Structure 1
Amino acid sequence: MAVPKKRTSMSKKRIHKNIWKRKGWRAALKAFALAKSLSTGNSKSFFVRQLNNQTLE
């Protein structure tokens, strides 16, 4: 028979929530750093194929 779990304390809930938020913050920071390095052309680990900008007339 299914038994309900014990209630999680407020402090544990807050700790778990902060860890979850911190993971998202780190991922966003890494993504922003990668985008910044790609836009400036200083990326050493990510290769972008350059396309020739030609106007079709």
Structure 2
Amino acid sequence: MFGRKAAEKLDDAAATLHRRYGKAGDAVANAVITPARRQIDTDCTRCARGKCKKH
């Protein structure tokens, strides 16, 4: 359904929410972004680019 570029955008949006709003941003990301992100069969794109601080 979605591709690698969509996964990158969703991962970046979740990271931005976390960075700007902390736990509140994580809650929003988990409620809004995670369901769409689960449909993509790609690992964390931020890990692949060396920018992930969660994994």
Return the TM-score normalized by structure 1.
0.37
The higher radius of gyration belongs to: 1
Return the TM-score normalized by structure 2.
0.38
**Higher helix proportion (structure 1 or 2):** 2
Higher relative contact order (CA 8 A, sep 6+): 2
